[in-house]
Every structure is written in structure tokens, then in C-alpha cells.
Structure 1
Amino acid sequence: MTAHRRTRLLLAGAVLLLLAFALGALWGGRRGDSHPAPSASTEAAPAPTAAAAAAEVWTCSMHPQVRQPKPGKCPICAMDLIPASGGDGPADGDPSVARLSAVARALAGVEVVPAERRPVAVTVRLVGKVRYDETRLATITARVPGRVDRLYADVTGTPIQAGEHLAELYSPELIAAQEELLQALRTASSPDMAAAPSLADAVRATLEASREKLRLWGLTSEQIDGIERHGRPLEHLTLNAPLSGVVIDKAVVEGAYVETGTRLYTIADLSRLWVVMDAYESDLGFLRYGQEVVFSAEAWPGHVFRGRIAFISPTLDAATRTVPVRVNVENPDGRLKPEMFVRAAVHASLDAAGEVARPDLAGKWLCSM
């Protein structure tokens, strides 16, 4: 063996010795860590408590009957599960009764109040249109045939006060009737009537019949008194407005000939109107006479109008399956106009029997008009 070969063997032996020493040190350190020596300062580990055991159960705040051993999603509503406390879960194993802790109630938004009887409030939404009040419409017609010589209200929309002149009508038949009145008046005032009482009674009856005929043809008592006082007939019959309102229709022009019954004007009093709405069958149980109705119109945004239900139709529209409901509305400032669309709401309160409760109308009587 040469000197070079001996050197190589010595180096290899030294490397092996070093590796063996390193491995021994590493193995000894691991054994010491896995079995530490007991120390006087080391305390015993606490035993698992009931709260820790309960925290291992996860439940749903909306479905407390769900009990899972780990976090996740509720299999019913897919909400995140929360740790269950001791007060959550079915009561005494009864799945129909749920018991929630304060935390679970707060998360679920559950509020508990004592049970008590209260009226049930229901709001019924309706739509409709403004209409003329049919009890405040007047049609002026010709009661005798003749010719229209003058129109005082010659434009549709003219405001009219009760008693104001509308038109003047010339009628030969009317003049003849006035002559009959004057003739009967002269005969009744003749001195010869005192000698014939039976004839005088007949003349007085004829005089009264002539007056009544003129009244039926549209002459007022003042006009008849004027004819008798002046002793001559009126050439024209003046037609006066029977009520205050607005001319909503003018059907004739000056110079036109008319017959008995020909329509000349239509006048409407707009100080009170109707609002006619359509109610569905399912809403009829919440509507009663005298209920207050609040509504708004497109022309007056933000302004609230009020009225009361005055009529509920006894029939139903087969095409729309709705029932007309009429509301009387005062319109002193003229804001509402016929044919306007409105949106209304009726706030009904139901009692224990399911009937509409109106304490303010108890013991009172209502007029349907």
C-alpha cells in the first residue's frame, strides 16, 4: 500500500466519523422534544367545558331545528350557520317548538310582544274619473215652438248665475195664449159678472187656467203679473237659468226655429262633483257607505282631495269584473274638472268579526245622496 492510498483512507474514515456524530446529535434532540421533562411551573390542561362542547354544534338562525357538527350553509335557506348556545334548538325534543337564545333572536330579528286584540288596517287602492254630479245638471228646452231671436249665453263654458237670462224666444202660440189671459181678465173684471154668479165662476176658472198654461210654458209669476198689469202680451219669452253653474252644451244659434222639447242648453253646477271608481270583487268587503276616500289628480301633484263613499253599485260589470263606487266631492275652488283621472285610497279598519269598523258613525244615519 502506498502513502497516497493511506491518505485517502484516513480522509474517508474522518468523514464517516463526522456524519455519525451529526446523526447521533440530531436523533437525541428529537427524542428530548417529544418527551419533555416535567416542570414545576407546568399546569394541567383544562378539561373541556359544556360551552365548548355546545360550540361544536352549529345551527341556523332562521331554522333552529337544523343541527350540524361543523360550520357551513343551512340546508333549508342556505344561510351561514352560527354556533348554537345551550338555549337553542327544539324544546324538550319537540320539533314543533323552537327555543332561541337572546343572540339567536337578535340575529333572526324576532320580536315578542303580548297577544292583544287590535283592528286590522287594510288599504284599498282604486282608480277612477271625475264626473258631473247628475243631481246638479239642468237641461233648458223650448216649451213652445218658435224662433230663437237672441242668445245671451252664446258660448260654451259661460258661467251663469241662477235667474240670469239665457235666450229670447218669439212664439206666435205664446202670444195667442197671452191674449187669452188678457181676454179672461177683462171679462172677469166686467160689471156684468155681478149679475151672473155662475158665469163669473166660469170666467174666474178660465182666468186661472190661462195663468197656469203660461206658467207651464215657462213664464214666471212676475212675468204673468206684468202682462196683466200692462194689459198687453210679451213679444218674446225670456228663458232664465234655473241654477248657477257653467254652460257645458249650447245646442242652438240665433235665428234657429225650434219645436216643443228642442234642447237649447245644458248647465252643470261644478261646485260639487262625483268621482266614480272601479272596485274589484275582492275589495268590496272593505268598502262601506260613508267611508272617507283620499285621492290625487295628475293636474295637482301633491294636493290631496277628500270625499266620502255615497253609492256602491248593486251590479257588477261582467267585462271588467268590477263594481262602480261613487264618491261625492266638494269642489268650491274648481280645481277638479270632469273627466280627470284620479288615484284613490280607502283606509279600512276591520273588527274581530271581519266587518269594516267605523266608530265615528256608530248610531248615525247616512243619506245615499
Structure 2
Amino acid sequence: MASRKIVSQVLLVLAALAAGGAGTYFWMTKGSSFLQFTKTAKEVAGRGAAKGERKILFYRNPMNPTVTSPVPAKDEMGMDYVPVYEDEVGAGGSTVAGYSTIKVGAESLRLAGVQTAPAVREKISRSVRAVGNVVPDETRIRRVQTKIEGWIEKLHVSFTGQLVTKGQPLLDIYSPELVASQREYLLAIEMRERMKENPYLEEKEMAEQLVQSSRRRLELFDVPQSFIAELENTRKPRRTVTLNAPVSGYVTAKDVFEGTRIMPGMELFTVTDLSRIWIEADLYEYEAQKVRLGQEAVLTPAYDPRLRLKGRVSYVYPTLSPESRTLKVRFEFPNPGLRLKPQMYADVFLELETATGVVIPDSALIETGLRQIVFVDLGGGSLEPREVNVGVRGDGKAQILSGVKEGERVAVRANFLLDSESRLRAALTAMTGGGTSPAPQPQGQPSSQGRPQSQEPAPSQGGHAGHGGAR
């Protein structure tokens, strides 16, 4: 019983291997061209001769098209050679160097997955999306400094990041110099009032000039007008003076504490107004050259793609980054509700250019380096390669300046299969001198199972036949 089970298992394994080998052979014998389907070379040759249909010029190696044979043959792997028809190489010329018109029939194109779309006349726009970084508007940053020497008696803002409004107290400063200036101003006021009864006009003018000079000194110390008005009413000098916020915004820097001694020019606070912000984004060279100052842009923050804010281009930086080959562009946007914070990321959408003309899907273009190729559907299963000039590209479409007319249909799927097939046919046409068959094998060569000849020029000898027959 055990031996029977072993024999049965061995037979099953052999049957599976045989089925797999047959499937592999069947798949590989379909040929290397995507338009060659289930017909073998012998079947096609016999069927074509019987019906008097397409004329076979020669047969080529499915893995190496430069190796050909005038009769049906097999390669070293046992794969049938692929027949090359007269209409494939003799009538497939095109205006594009290195390409040939494809003529295979509508059904073959359908099975290969080729789809076409019409060229239409419409408006097309080219937009660019750039990832930007939120930065504060430098023109809205205020640094609170002092012009007097003294000490901080009290802080009204206790931490960095606190939101303040314009005119809100920031800190109280005690300065002996400022107290002396207040007393000097009050004495000048008293002197002026005494001079009212003085009959000498010059002395009155001197008293008035002294008042104005003392007041001007307080103003140069950045003492608020409200403080001076209070001093004139009370006629009593105050020990401290209060510094108020110059703008509404966030305290983004705080460098002092209560009791800190301050000196003239020392920065105490930095208050940043975020009601309007900047977005700095990097654009490539070919994109930045289309950007104009004042151009409208749309911002979408990363945290809420539904939010859209409109702004404008405010500045294009004059230098290019040598590492990324990009140019920095600055945008200015409003910040309602102060929702955009510095260092946040946001997407900026900018419309660079618009045009109206013949438009095709962008997927129809085959980029070959210095030129762009499309395949135009001529009907009846024929596709013609054409070189085109492309204008504006955007939203998955491309404007065609020349090469395709309105209403013509172009291939938009399986383009790379068409590209390889067209190049292959052009190469075969060049090899056969525009459609003539290759040289027959010399006498003594096997007709079907032997080694076919490579399509290389042979030395001219007496009695040797060429592609067109005996010379």
C-alpha cells in the first residue's frame, strides 16, 4: 500500500510539471510583439497562403529581431519565429524619424488595451502647488525698548506667548533720571505761571521755552502723552512710568524679570502682530519665471484642507538655492482668528498661465527626451506617430501647438506598447531596405530546425543571393 501511494504521488508531481511546462511553452510561443497573439508562425503562414491574404516576407527571432529566417524556424529555446508581413514593413513609413505607422486592425488594438480620446479646443490653465512655511510678517514685529536707565518695579506680562492688545501695560519702570525730568518739567510750569505778571516779554518767552524743552525731554524718553497730561494735572512726580504694548499681538520674546536693571537700548519684549502673515515657498526655476508680483494665490493649511484663504505674491527673492535649484517666493495672507501660527505648513496654489487651443489628455504624450510623440488614430486599426509641440500643461491636459488638429483622436492608453511596436517596425523596415525579404539561407542549411542567419550583411561572392533574389 505504501509503495502504491508513493507511485501515485510521483505520477501527480510529473503531471503537474508537464502541465506547467506546456503552459509556459504556450505563453512563450506568442512572440515578443504585443500585437502577436495565439497564432504560431506555421499556422499563420499556412493560413495566409491558403486564403491569399497578407504576404509574409520573412520570419524573425521572437527574442532578437536582428536574427531572421526566410522559412519557418525555431530558436534555441524551441520558440517559433514570428512572421513579418509585407504591410508591416513596406507601407508603414511616417514623418517621425525612427518610428513607423502601425497597421494591425481594430480588434488587435482593443485586445492590447489601446484607448483613444479626441483633441478638443478649450481653455487650459497651468497651476502649481507648493508647500509653504508660515512666518511672521516682519513689518508687524515690534521690539519694546527703553531709552532710560532704571529698574523694573512690576511686570504686567508674565510669560512668553501671552496675547496683548495695543495700549495694554507691559511693565512699570523706576528711573531716577525720569523722576528728575518730571520735577524739572513741573518747575518750568511754575516758572511760566509766575512770569504771567512780569512786564518783560523776553522773560515770558524764556519761561515758555523752558517748559517746551522740559516737555520735549520727557517725550524723547517715550513717556506716553497720557502720563504727561496726568503730571500736569496732579503736579506731583510719579515714581514709576508704565510702558504699553505698541501693537496687538503675541509676546514672542521676554528677556526681563521684576527687579531687573535695564539700560538704554535694551530689548525688553518682542510683540508680533499675526493678523497678517507671510508664507515662504520654494518654486523650481521653470515655475518661478512665470510668477508676478501681486499675483493672486490660494492657501490651504495642512490641518484643515477645507479652509481657503486668498492672498497675493509680495516678493520674489533674488537668489537661487544651489542645493535644491529652487527660488523662494513670499506670499502675504490674512489670518482671521489668528489660526495660522508661525512654522506651520500650508499648501499654496498659484495659477501661472492660461491659454485656449487644441487640448489632449496628458497621458497621450510620449516623452523621448528632446521631442514629444503622440499616436493619432487613422481608423481601421492604423495609428500614425506624430511629433508635436506642447504649450501649456495642467490638470492632466496639454495644449498642442502643432502636430494634432481639433477632432483627431489620439491614443491615451498602452502608449508605451505602441511606442515599442512602432520602433520595432521602423527597425525592420530599415533592415529590409524598405520591405524586401532577407537573403535566403545558403545550400545545406536546414530549413526549419537549423540555426537561422543573423541579419548582418554578408560579403559579396559569386553565386550568393541577396534579399531581392539572385544578382
Q: Does residue 292 in structure 1 map to residue 291 in structure 2?
A: no
Q: Does residue 161 in structure 1 map to residue 165 in structure 2?
A: yes
Q: What is the aligned partner in structure 2 of residue 95 from structure 1?
A: 94
Contact preservation (8 Å) 2:145, 2:266: yes
Amino acid at match of 1:347: E
Matched residue of 1:314: which SS?
strand
Q: For residues 264-283 of structure 1, what are the structure 2 equivalents within 5 Å?
A: 264-283=268-287
Q: What is the aligned partner in structure 2 of residue 31 from structure 1?
A: none
Tell me the CA shift for residue 191 of structure 1.
3.9
Amino acid at match of 1:206: L
Q: For residues 177-188 of structure 1, what are the structure 2 equivalents within 5 Å?
A: 177-188=181-192
2:326 to 322, 338, 345: 322
Q: Distance in 2 between matches of 1:227 and 1:241?
A: 21
Q: Distance in 2 between matches of 1:128 and 1:166?
A: 34
- Cα 1:122/1:229, change in 2 over 3 Å: closer
- Cα 1:151/1:93, change in 2 over 3 Å: closer
- Cα 1:197/1:53, change in 2 over 3 Å: farther
Amino acid at match of 1:218: D
Tell me the CA shift for residue 93 of structure 1.
7.4
> C-alpha offsets along residues 234-278 of structure 1, whole Å, 9 cap, x if unaligned?
211101111111111111000111011111111111222111112
2:218 to 204, 214, 218: 214
Unaligned runs of 5+ in 1: 1-51, 59-66, 357-369
The count of residues paired between Structure 1 and Structure 2 equals 292
Tell me the CA shift for residue 147 of structure 1.
0.6
Contact preservation (8 Å) 2:135, 2:280: yes
Q: What is the aligned partner in structure 2 of residue 223 from structure 1?
A: 227
Q: What is the aligned partner in structure 1 of residue 305 from structure 2?
A: 302
Q: Does residue 176 in structure 1 map to residue 176 in structure 2?
A: no
Matched residue of 2:330: which SS?
strand
Amino acid at match of 1:302: P
- Cα 1:211/1:349, change in 2 over 3 Å: same
Q: What is the aligned partner in structure 2 of residue 235 from structure 1?
A: 239
1:256 to 257, 260, 265: 260
Point out the more displaced range, 131-140 or 321-330: 321-330
Q: Does residue 145 in structure 1 map to residue 180 in structure 2?
A: no
Q: Distance in 2 between matches of 1:208 and 1:189?
A: 14
**Going by fraction, where is strand more abundant, 1 or 2?**
2
Tell me the CA shift for residue 194 of structure 1.
4.2
Q: What is the aligned partner in structure 2 of residue 38 from structure 1?
A: none
Q: For residues 316-355 of structure 1, what are the structure 2 equivalents within 5 Å?
A: 316-351=320-355
Q: Distance in 2 between matches of 1:112 and 1:104?
A: 18
Contact preservation (8 Å) 1:244, 1:269: yes
Q: For residues 123-134 of structure 1, what are the structure 2 equivalents within 5 Å?
A: 123-124=128-129, 126-134=130-138
Q: What is the aligned partner in structure 1 of residue 126 from structure 2?
A: 121
- Cα 1:194/1:247, change in 2 over 3 Å: same
Q: Distance in 2 between matches of 1:282 and 1:164?
A: 48
Matched residue of 1:189: which SS?
helix
Given the two structures, how large is their TM-score scaled by the length of structure 1? 0.66
- Cα 1:187/1:285, change in 2 over 3 Å: same
Tell me the CA shift for residue 326 of structure 1.
1.0
Tell me the CA shift for residue 210 of structure 1.
1.6
Given the two structures, how large is their TM-score scaled by the length of structure 2? 0.53
Point out the more displaced range, 180-189 or 314-323: 314-323
Matched residue of 1:207: which SS?
helix
Q: Distance in 2 between matches of 1:203 and 1:193?
A: 12
Tell me the CA shift for residue 350 of structure 1.
4.1
Contact preservation (8 Å) 1:312, 1:326: yes
Tell me the CA shift for residue 287 of structure 1.
2.3
Contact preservation (8 Å) 1:293, 1:309: no
Indicate the percent of aligned positions where both proteins have the same amino acid. Answer: 27
- Cα 1:129/1:230, change in 2 over 3 Å: same
Matched residue of 1:324: which SS?
strand
Q: Distance in 1 between matches of 2:323 and 2:91?
A: 58
Q: Distance in 1 between matches of 2:196 and 2:136?
A: 58
RMSD value over aligned CA atoms? 4.0
Which has more radius of gyration? 1
- Cα 1:296/1:194, change in 2 over 3 Å: same
Amino acid at match of 1:208: Q
Q: Distance in 2 between matches of 1:196 and 1:135?
A: 52
- Cα 1:93/1:169, change in 2 over 3 Å: closer
Contact preservation (8 Å) 1:130, 1:342: yes
Amino acid at match of 2:94: P
Q: What is the aligned partner in structure 1 of residue 463 from structure 2?
A: none
- Cα 1:123/1:73, change in 2 over 3 Å: farther
Q: What is the aligned partner in structure 1 of residue 399 from structure 2?
A: none
- Cα 1:120/1:240, change in 2 over 3 Å: closer
> C-alpha offsets along residues 61-115 of structure 1, whole Å, 9 cap, x if unaligned?
xxxxxx9899x89969xxxx9xx9xxx9899875339587766776774646467
Contact preservation (8 Å) 1:57, 1:68: no
